Amino acid sequence: RLAFFSDCFQSTLSQTFEFVLPHFVLCLGLRAVCLIRAPSAIRHLASLIMGLIVIWVFVERKVMYFVVLAVVGYSGLLLAPEKRKGVVSSLLCVSFIMSCELVFTRTEWHQIRGSIMIVAMKTISIGFDVDDNRLSHIPGVLEFAGFVLCPANAIFGPFVQYKTYLGILTDRPLSKAWFYYVVRSLALAGFALAFSMCFWPWIFDRDVQKWLRAFTVAASFRYSHYFVSYLSETTSVMSGLGFVESESGDHWGGVAVAQMENVELPRSMVEVATSWNMASHLFLKSYVYKPARKLGIFSAILITYFASALLHGLNFQLSAVLFSVGMYAYIENVLRTKLAKKLNACVQARRSHEPEKMKYQEKVWWVVIINALFSALAVFHLAYLGSPFHADSPDLQEEGYSMQHTLSQWEHLNFASHWVALATLLVSWMI
């Protein structure tokens, strides 16, 4: 088994590095164009061309669908009436994603879904930013194309707003800090990939108890997500993202996409939901949740997770997991808010910014126990929700997981997590 881990580790890292090397080269190429202080139009054009090359390297001829989405989205922004550009662009992008579900085979769509979603999110953000006067006007054709197809985040993400993209194109000098954050992100990506592909399969084989197996499968899936997140941090910093301007001095501060420690050692499901992908959380919070909050918190949460499910495409497993996470987070937040008021203690789902207002602080022994129990509950939910991300057949992993597969995996675990969530809801009603 030790030989398996060693061989898996070496082969996985070497193959992955060869796979992403062209992406790294093109991101560094964009940084070089910006450092030589090329005219603004040239920088946007370089971003567009290098982004198209990156997409071609990964998906070949399907790059045309990225171009079509960019054209459709930009046309919608131009033709939509004032104060309706965000809504119109949202409808167009979601309709395009739904159409792709019908055009592509499941394997093909699974290959490009995440990258198409990034282009859609960028387009939608432009519409709402113009509606809310965060942008004074719609960017020009070249600026828009360079933004939505930027090589820094064309494949792995993360979502960035247009003003952040403009920061990438500045001639900010490189430094030891820049190099440190590139190496750091790349090292963490390698660590996460090794854990996902090699460590968990090496520690636990297929014959373990079903809940231990569920935990292993979920952990392997989570670490594959961290791999993509840290890889996106690497390409982003390579391209010039992560420069921080502050009163104490400008410096390279890196990019944070996922907060692994908050997911692996969660305080609550609320913390999991916000730390899983902070860029996507920013998008959903800014462009879906806040506008929908006038309908009420619960309705806004439902709309937010419904929008997230639509952006991910017609995939039952992802939709079911997303809605479950949303409901779990909402139920837990309600319960712990009530408990905090009843006990006058720091047991909220989020860490209090004003703990001094509570009589019993975080370090009181019984407060520690309560928070630890909720952390254990979150780990239990994560094991259950991640259990369907497992398939004996590689074809199933390439195609995506069906409703039947998802429900069968949860049925194998007696739908325990959903029953516990229902019990949590009943307790919150009774308090």
The residues that are catalytic are 312
Angle (deg, nearest 10), helices 210-239 and 176-194: 160
Angle (deg, nearest 10), helices 210-239 and 2-35: 20
Burial 211-235 (b: 16+ CB within 10 A, else e): eebbbbbbbbbbbbbbbbbbbbbbb
The alpha carbon of 325 is separated from its chain's Cα centroid by a whole number of angstroms, namely 14
Task: Report phi then psi at 251, rounded to 5.
Answer: -165, 165
129 vs 93: CA distance, rounded Å: 16
47 vs 235: CA distance, rounded Å: 13
Q: Calculate the CA dihedral of residues 158, 401, 276, 199 and round it to 10 degrees.
A: -100
Task: Report phi then psi at 178, rounded to 5.
Answer: -60, -50
Task: Report phi then psi at 244, rounded to 5.
Answer: -105, 125
